[in-house]
Amino acid sequence: MTTTHADPAAPDESALDAAKRAEPGIVTCDACPVLCRIRPGKTGACDRFGNVEGRLARMDPLTVIARRPEMVAFAGADWSGNPIAAQDVFVSGIGAGTTYPDYKPAPFIVAAEIDGVDMVTVVTEGIFSYCGLKVKIDTDRHLGAERSAVRARGEQVGHVTTAEYGSQMLSLGGVRHLTGGTKREGVVTCETLLTLCNGGAIELAVDGGAAVTVQAGAAPIVDGVPESRMRVGCGSATIGIFASQWLGHADEVIVVDDHITGVLTEHQAGRFLGLPPSGIRVRGRRSTPGRYFQVANPGAGWGGTDIAEPLSIIERIDPRIAWPGLRLLMVSTTGEHAAWFVLDEAMTPRPVPMPEPIAAIVARIGENCEPALCSVLFMAGAGGSLRAGVTENPVLLTRSVQKRLTRVTMGGAPVYVWPGGGITIMADVAAMPANAFGHVPTPALVAPIEFTMPRADYLLLGGYGERVRSLADILAAGAVRGATLPPGTLFPIAE
């Protein structure tokens, strides 16, 4: 059992206490609609709250983010109790607890003076039924057709959505999978989201497509094969990048790509360099000179197509234009696949050993590929009832966030706030401290969220001024855990 702290919003005198009196020793958790009745020494269904000596307690310590690792000592036994500069620590929502139903003030409303300005941070763990993940998987390999179901342990937890440049995209979770299907679908969806949000790996299967193992910050594993390279660009872009380097070493280069296959001598880059036409015509639909769509079907072969034999995409070779001895390079957008051919007297491409200058450029394509990774962005609506834990007049918080007067963070990490109505936020789970997320069995995800604004603005919003506590008070109360943000995440308070 970890350090605990009393639930700051636990009711003292209420109907729940009546229930306690009826069954001595049992406390009822009111932090979510499940209303677990918890026996002494036990925890509720989510393990976040427990019965500690007859009182409801949040079982994890409140996580306070320190600007630098050496400052984490404030939360440990070595801390002497000296004041901590407010600009060096930030009270996060991790371990803060939840005040459901949200008309109660948030668990922690923290005052701190930063650069001479009285600031307030409202800290809570939000319960998100409306939440999901956008997962970016850096691979050319075909994972499945757009809109195909994505499954975990047989349950649909999301779908394949629009591919991006060099990446396949999944949309996972969302209210329909959490609440609109069977109970098992909701539970498996919630577990899948939770695992990915907390940095774990999940095996997913796409209907009619691939099996893929996804983990934030790690390389995807597609059908058992770890992906290593994110393509340098589409086939046309690859032509554009390397055209001048091929000049004098190859008479034609075809960059095989599921989306846009490039043909050097037809492409504007080849024409600009004065390359003569090769007479080699590839299959598919010509978009613009040297750029072809649909040369093959999507797959796990060359350039995200289903081909294993590159010559299969050549439709014809015009003997009036081509010539014996013509040197042809066929290469994929990652450089993982490459073959070198020379036309014989019958205009048939014959494989021959690749010359060193060409091999060097193929290697350079690989060198220009970034490592293939999975990125997991949590997306949720914070424009609902949790706002009532911040202010008695929630729309004022929404307007303040939309005007960028109130800053929203998750576990201290920055979030992107979508334009338009509501408070629709998106955050990179890899930018947040480890294990920042939890769940409740409704099912829904629990995520830390903080709203920071000047104290004067907070009071104008209808904030709970009487519940504001000083940072020093919260640190002195103990049961806090010091942590730092992952490398690369900016500290939420400007230095």
Let me know the angle formed at the C-alpha of 359 by 355 and 363, rounded to the nearest 5 degrees. Answer: 175
- For residue 385, which phi and psi values (nearest 5 degrees)? -70, -20
Nearest approach, Cβ of residue 98 and ligand SF4 (Å): 6
Q: Whose CB is nearest to ligand SF4?
A: 44
Q: Which regions of 257-365 does DSSP assign to beta strands (E)?
A: 261-263, 280-282, 285-288, 291-293, 314-317, 327-332, 338-343, 349-351
- Which token pair is 199? 């940095």
Measured from the CB atom, is 384 or 486 closer to ligand SF4?
A: 384
Nearest approach, Cβ of residue 7 and ligand SF4 (Å): 9
Measured from the CB atom, is 234 or 446 closer to ligand SF4?
A: 446
Nearest approach, Cβ of residue 2 and ligand SF4 (Å): 15
Nearest approach, Cβ of residue 90 and ligand SF4 (Å): 24
How many helices (H) does the chain have, and how many strands (E)? 9, 37
Residues that bind ligand SF4 (CB under 6 A): 29, 31-32, 34-36, 44-46, 48-49, 440-441
Nearest approach, Cβ of residue 439 and ligand SF4 (Å): 8
Nearest approach, Cβ of residue 44 and ligand SF4 (Å): 2
Let me know the angle formed at the C-alpha of 449 by 445 and 454, rounded to the nearest 5 degrees. Answer: 165
Measured from the CB atom, is 342 or 479 closer to ligand SF4?
A: 479
Helix axes 235-246 and 356-367, enclosed angle (nearest 10): 140
Nearest approach, Cβ of residue 37 and ligand SF4 (Å): 9
Nearest approach, Cβ of residue 444 and ligand SF4 (Å): 10
Measured from the CB atom, is 44 or 126 closer to ligand SF4?
A: 44
Measured from the CB atom, is 219 or 440 closer to ligand SF4?
A: 440
Q: Which regions of 153-226 does DSSP assign to beta strands (E)?
A: 155-164, 167-173, 202-206, 211-214, 221-222, 225-226
Nearest approach, Cβ of residue 438 and ligand SF4 (Å): 8
Measured from the CB atom, is 48 or 229 closer to ligand SF4?
A: 48
Cβ–Cβ < 8 Å for 154, 468? no
- Determine if residue 361 is left, alpha or beta; phi over 0 gives left, psi from -120 to 50 gives alpha, anything else beta: alpha
Which string of b and e fits 369-399 if b means at least 16 CB within 10 Å? beebbbbbbbbbbbbbebbbbbbeebebbbe
Measured from the CB atom, is 37 or 153 closer to ligand SF4?
A: 37
Q: What is the Cα 244 distance to its own chain's centre?
A: 37
Residues, the chain: 495
User: Pick from 121, 60, 123: which is nearest to 95 by CA?
Assistant: 60
CA 441, CA 386: separation in Å to the nearest integer? 18
Measured from the CB atom, is 49 or 246 closer to ligand SF4?
A: 49
Measured from the CB atom, is 136 or 439 closer to ligand SF4?
A: 439
